[in-house]
Amino acid sequence: MAEQIEYREGLDELAGDYRRILQLLGEDPEREGLQKTPMRVAKAMQFLTQGYTQDAHEVLRQALFREDYSQMVIVKDIDFFSLCEHHMLPFYGKAHVAYIPNGYITGLSKIARVVDIFAHRLQVQERLTLQIKQCIQDTLHPLGVMVVVEARHMCMQMRGVEKQNSITTTSEFSGAFNQAKTRQEFMNLLHHQ
């Protein structure tokens, strides 16, 4: 069952703005197929940007456990979608996150929640990658964090250069992952089936 979203203040005003956008595009917002579209789009946009109302650090802190484990923890293939802040078109893909605990671990699902919170904002992939890494680093204080994000950008596929098969990869790392050997271990485990 899908999580219930609590719509934020300004929903009606946002729907009114989308009604005006339809008019500016040459459409009739009163025609049968479009009558409910402004409110549907307003609700969709509030859902797609709900990360602005969520605290990723708090999500990690709520599931912080003392543990002496000090080897790499990897959560890979975390599906995400976001909106490019330049054209407000979707980009989507997978995030791969590794950290080396330093006395504390967090619930594995919380790593995926951190990805979702930052993805549910207007974004660029580079910042998304950095925010995920920084949140885990600042909250868990691990020996190191590494994040790799692979995504397809609709702003490149639907408009502009129209390159349907391009994938953008970004990475951020800290601490123990500054060592090439540790980064290579992560990459080897990432691509191991």
Catalytic residues, by residue number, are 84-87, 125, 153, 155
At residue 88, φ and ψ (nearest 5 deg) are 55, 35
Which CB contacts under 8 angstroms, 24+ apart, belong to 160-168? 167/93, 168/91, 168/125
The DSSP annotation for 102-134 comes to SSEEE-HHHHHHHHHHHHSSEE-HHHHHHHHHH
Q: Is the separation of the CB atoms in 149 and 114 below 8 Å?
A: no
State the virtual CA torsion across 143, 78, 138, 119 in degrees, nearest 10.
160
- Residue 45 DSSP one-character state: H
**In the Cβ-directed half-sphere of 114, how many Cα atoms lie within 13 Å?**
33
